[in-house]
Amino acid sequence: MERVMSEFRYLFRYSFALTPVLAVVIGNSWGGAWTLLNLAYTLGFLGILELVVPDNQEAPLPLKQESGSGLLMSAWLGHFIAWFSLIYGILSGAIADSWLFSAALSTGLCSGSLGIVLAHELIHRVSSRWRLLGQIILWSVGNSYFYIDHLKIHHKYVATSLDSASAKRGESIYRFIGRSIAGQISASYKLEALRLRTAGHLSWGWSNYVVRMQVSWGVFLLLIAAWIPALALALFVQGVFACLLLEYTNYIEHYGLSRQENEKVTAAHSWQSDKVISRFFLFDLSRHADHHYRASRPFHQLRSHADSPKQPLGYASAFFPALIPPIWFKIMDKALKRWNSGLA
């Protein structure tokens, strides 16, 4: 019983990742200024809290691979509860006028910080059922490239010039986002096209995952637009913001780190953060160095590496500094210099 309770307490901390869902549902149900609630909570409160709460470098408990499945399923449902609350808020009239954009951004923030983070965890699972659930989340934000590019390109070529999702030193987030999205879409489409041509099929047909995902999402939005244009716009903005948050995450995870193409991927090629908010609100995504070192490890088994570069800020507290290049470069280039000199 003691072991069971210990495991429960360990996994329970990750349930705080679901708190933005409550903020989104309240905002979308009550409308007006309440639609700003999740923006203030996630980007404001959590960002500040992360700066004052100590790091948590504890080693993971030796839990089974399937541990936390109930939590992941709850998070999956939470993502879609928040997603559908946006639809409900607009249909009920609670969300109107300019508040539509704040509601869409608030929901998109949840879709990015919970939904896509969860999808990332699920698409790495061996079970096809878990991977499908991850793909459904990606469809809900109109993302057609992440599933393929992340698994087949990013993990293979991370921190090299062949990976569009690895930010270069001195590259602003604004330049990176355009280059990253364009590169990932192109690479994922080409990989699918090659797979289909090899199998004797049309490279651009419905069997192409990128084409199928993007076209179905586009048709879905067009059908909604023919019914309620404002709802289609809100869902579109929600998806775009979620995908931009994904690219922000890519940006801070590998900024300035590099390796040779024939060099083995190690825990030295990703920034690591043991900030409590980043750890337990993002299913340990911040232990990204270990994720690239052992991509098959589930979130609750990821470890902290003493020999990994340490992110000076957490994922929540780095958001606004990353948007201001001079501040970001000052912080991160100093960290890079310390890392390259063996001081961090």
What range defines the domain where residue 242 resides? 15-340
Rounded distance between C-alpha atoms, residue 187 and residue 183, angstroms: 6
Alpha-helical regions (H) of 111-165 = 117-123, 128-140, 146-149, 155-157
Give the tens place of pLDDT for each residue, 207-232: 999 999 999 999 999 999 999 999 99
Inside any domain, residue 239: yes
DSSP state of 59: P
- Is residue 323 predicted with pLDDT exceeding 70? yes
pLDDT tens for each residue of 57-102: 998 988 887 788 999 999 999 999 999 999 999 999 999 999 999 9
- pLDDT range class, residue 304, cuts 50, 70, 90: very high
Is residue 2, in this structure, part of any structural domain at all? no
User: Is there a domain that residue 4 lies in?
Assistant: no
Specify if 72 maps to a domain.
yes
pLDDT at position 2, please?
67
Q: For residue range 136-159, list pLDDT tens digits in order.
A: 999 999 998 999 999 999 999 999
pLDDT on residue 61: 83
CB atoms near residue 45 (< 10 Å): 13
* Domain total of the chain: 1
**Residue 269, in any domain of the structure:** yes
Residue 3 lies in a domain: no
pTM of the model: 0.95
1 within domain boundaries: no
Q: What angle do CA 62, 66, 68 make, to 5 degrees?
A: 80
Chain CA centroid to CA 235, Å: 18
In a domain, 7, yes or no: no
- State the Cα–Cα distance between residues 238 and 106, nearest whole angstrom: 8
